[in-house]
Amino acid sequence: MKFTKPETTNPIDQMKVVGKPLDRIDGPQKTTGSAPYAYEQHAAAPNAAYGYVIGAAIAKGRIVSIDTAAARRAPGVIAVVTYENAGKLGKGNFNTAHLLAGPEVQHYHQAVGVVVAETFEQARAASSLVKVEYAKANGSYDLAAAMNAAVTPKTGDAESKVGDFDGAFAGAPVKLDATYTTPDQSHAMMEPHASIASWDGDKVTVWTSNQMIDWGKQDLAKTLGIPAGNVRLVSPYIGGGFGGKLFLRSEAVLAALGARAAKRPVKVALQRALMINNTTHRPATIQRIRIGATREGRINAIAHESWSGDLPGGGPETAVQQTRFLYAGGHRLTRLQLATLDLPEGNAMRAPGEAPGMMALEVAMDEMAEKLKMDPVTFRVVNDTTVDPEKPGRKFSQRRYVQCLRQGAERFGWDKRQAKPGQVREGQWLVGMGMASAFRNNMNLKSAARVRLESDGKVTVETDMTDIGTGSYTIIAQTAAEMLGLPVERINVRLGDSDYPVSAGSGGQWGANSATAGVYAACVKLREQIAQKAGLDAAKAEFLDGAVRAGGRSVPLTEVAKGGAIVAEDTMEYGDLEKKMQQSTFGAHFVEVAVDVATAEVRVRRMLSVCAAGRILNPKSARSQVIGAMTMGVGGALMEHLAVDKRHGFFVNHDLASYEVPVHADIPHQEVIFIDETDPTTSPMKAKGIGELGLCGVGAAVANAIYNATGVRVRDYPVTLDKML
Ligand code: MOS
């Protein structure tokens, strides 16, 4: 099915099941520990041996020699795989660095090999006997030092210019020129990268933890140099991804290589100590923002430049993205600058681009509002735009941004905020309020599904879509239930298997709308087949209360299916609707903090997010996405920071003890409001992404609240107390 024009009405609009705050159907399995995660697929691969990954001890250089003799003799050891005996490996489409080093080493903790043994402890003990000799080369590890040599990458959209920024900025009566920094950050998900690989002849099955099944399957085939048809990936449950599991990672390749060498299934969970330097991270940025406005507060000139670094062949963090869409202003400039760094590979982490970009832009907007003596909410409302500011005439499909700002301000009690900072004191605490916009683009990806009306009247949905803790199982069941007029209890959803039709996968907040749209397409086909079989006019058929009816006749689906299951498969594909109209998601974040007068300890007291993101398919799982994102935003504002060892080129705090994220005690009352909205241009579901929107801007709202409380403006994240004293 091709989606080419805005959808008017369809069965989803009944909203009998879609739009209801259903509990997650996989919830009981997850909370009772009975949902098998990748490393726990004991039944699928009994007799699996254990792999232990060896990470490179240098950031850049060469492996001179590897001596595995002692390790091979150690108790329980079955195989040791390094580049010397792995065979020729290809490189997939999505990784910048090779997933197995040798002889070249491209980053610290890049996998050098895997030791396979009968037990985990034996593999770990033997790995310490592997002697690797390195020839170290000099690398570049410091973004601030490398930024002068940065270049504008040739990605086509690394730079945008409208009008004459320099001239307009020079002549602006009120202006700001400020630089902000965001640190390297880690996904730090609970479940590490984990895989069990099992070969059957020249075919391999990998039970893994991956957000994008088809990307992973294709890349594993390319890496191993085997046909994609010989690779099966299975990933029904995922313990968090945040972008870290968008791509094939080393543990899956090493499990496959280890299993081939050991001639039996091998399981590998990337050790927590390797999780940060072996994998990808959100790259640090240095962002310069210049804004020029009239005395009345109209932006006339706005420039946003962002510097980030990556390994040779890598890409930039697209932190200027939102600045192209969010505010009006005739003279504009955005530019990405990419430096070469030999740190581990930078890549997507939840809302790549907008997440760090909004941390800078929305503090700049707060600073500018203060210079203008304007309320920060009013300043944003004044600079709203109804068209894409870089492409006049091109409209937003929906833009309920001002509504988010106004509703949020009212609900939060924003009118009680003191404009002058440092005015409100409660005992030892200075109290302040801050706000920021939320913005994230919406993307739709092609997505397929198969639906089957079983002979017992139940329906099975199969798609390789993943559920990374987001609620995919539930919204897919709701979609099929709505389309077929059945209660959700009669829908059985099967996800995360490359044997199923290729879905959009979970990334870039495109998963919910795209994957359910694919299920919609398959259900449209199934409805036609069911109606035909029931001898009814398919064009007039309605599906309600477990029956199909048309022309005064009603046939229960159990009756229709009696003769045998009915199967339909389809793909939702997109025309150029997205290109004609800008699809984005909008919101506003409000935060109240208290800062200890003596120690500068920050306590977040209240948070509110208002989101406009199309139809909300399930308000409960959507709210969970947003409160999770708000929590992550507090981490980004106050804690998260990969500390770079600039001499040796690695992230020092490479575990969950020293990479700090918020815990329950750090998180206060959180409230989420969804603006009532449907977007008929996104898909028949009329939904958009929400999981990343909820993060974008939170950090700035916290930083702005800290400024309002204390009068101290910190432009370098995280806002730790040492920067305030
Ligand atoms: Mo997201 S960073 O595309 O999983």
| Residue pLDDT, tens place only, 314-355 | 999 999 999 999 999 999 999 999 999 999 999 999 999 999
Q: Looking at the DSSP assignment, which residues form a beta bridge with residue 610?
A: 588, 673
Q: Is 602 in the same domain as 706?
A: yes
Q: What is the pLDDT of residue 505?
A: 98
Q: What is the pLDDT of residue 384?
A: 98
Longest dimension (CA), the chain: 81
Does the residue 366 lie in any domain? Answer: yes
Q: Which of 272, 224, 257, 223 is nearest to 115 (CA)?
A: 257
Q: Is 407 in the same domain as 374?
A: yes
CB 581 within 8 A of CB 12: no
Q: Is the CB–ligand 1 distance for residue 243 below 6 Å?
A: yes
Task: Tell me the average confidence (pLDDT) per consecutive run of 10 residues in the chain, 725 residues long.
Answer: 94 98 96 95 92 98 98 98 97 95 98 98 98 98 97 91 98 98 97 98 98 98 98 97 98 98 98 97 98 98 98 97 98 98 98 98 98 98 96 94 98 98 98 98 97 96 98 98 98 98 98 98 98 96 97 96 96 90 97 97 98 98 98 98 98 95 94 97 97 98 98 98 93
Instruction: Give the number of the atom of ligand 1 that is nearest the alpha carbon of residue 692.
Output: 1
Q: What is the pLDDT of residue 200?
A: 97
- SS3 of 321, please? helix
Determine the angle formed by the axes of helices 619-638 and 354-372, rounding to 10 degrees: 70
- Which among 534, 555, 579 is the end of a domain? 579
Q: What is the pLDDT of residue 44?
A: 87
**Cα-based angle 521, 213, 276 (whole degrees, multiple of 5):** 140
Q: Is 436 in the same domain as 475?
A: no
Chain centroid offset of residue 253 CA: 23
Q: Is 587 in the same domain as 717?
A: yes
Instruction: Give the number of the atom of ligand 1 that is nearest the alpha carbon of residue 246.
Output: 4
* Distance spanning both ends of the chain, measured CA to CA: 60
Q: Best mutation site among 213, 442, 692 for ligand 1, i.e. most ligand atoms within 8 A of its Cβ? A: 692
Q: Is the CB–ligand 1 distance for residue 246 below 6 Å?
A: yes
Q: Is 457 in the same domain as 569?
A: yes
Does the residue 291 lie in any domain? Answer: no
328-346: buried (b, 16+ CB within 10 Å) or exposed (e) per residue?
Answer: bbbbbbbbbbbbbbbbbbb
Number of domains in the chain: 2
Q: Is 540 in the same domain as 624?
A: no
Retrieve residue 379's tokens.
Answer: 């300043």
- Which among 558, 579, 600 is the end of a domain? 579
CB 396 within 8 A of CB 386: yes
Q: Which of 365, 294, 303 is nearest to 334 (CA)?
A: 303
- Which among 547, 579, 611 is the end of a domain? 579
CATH number for the domain spanning 643: value is 3.30.365.10
Q: Is 436 in the same domain as 515?
A: no
Q: Catalytic annotation on 692?
A: yes
Q: pLDDT tens, 138-168? A: 999 999 999 999 999 987 799 999 999 999 9
Q: How far apart are CA 344 and CA 576, in angstroms?
A: 37
Instruction: Give the number of the atom of ligand 1 that is nearest the alpha carbon of residue 468.
Output: 4
Q: Which domain holds residue 462?
A: 2-35+444-579
Q: How far apart are CA 165 and CA 73, in angstroms?
A: 68
Does the residue 708 lie in any domain? Answer: yes
Q: Is 557 in the same domain as 665?
A: no
Q: How far apart are CA 84 and CA 461, in angstroms?
A: 44
Nearest protein Cα to ligand 1, atom 4: 243
Q: How far apart are CA 344 and CA 301, in angstroms?
A: 36
Q: Is the CB–ligand 1 distance for residue 240 below 6 Å?
A: no
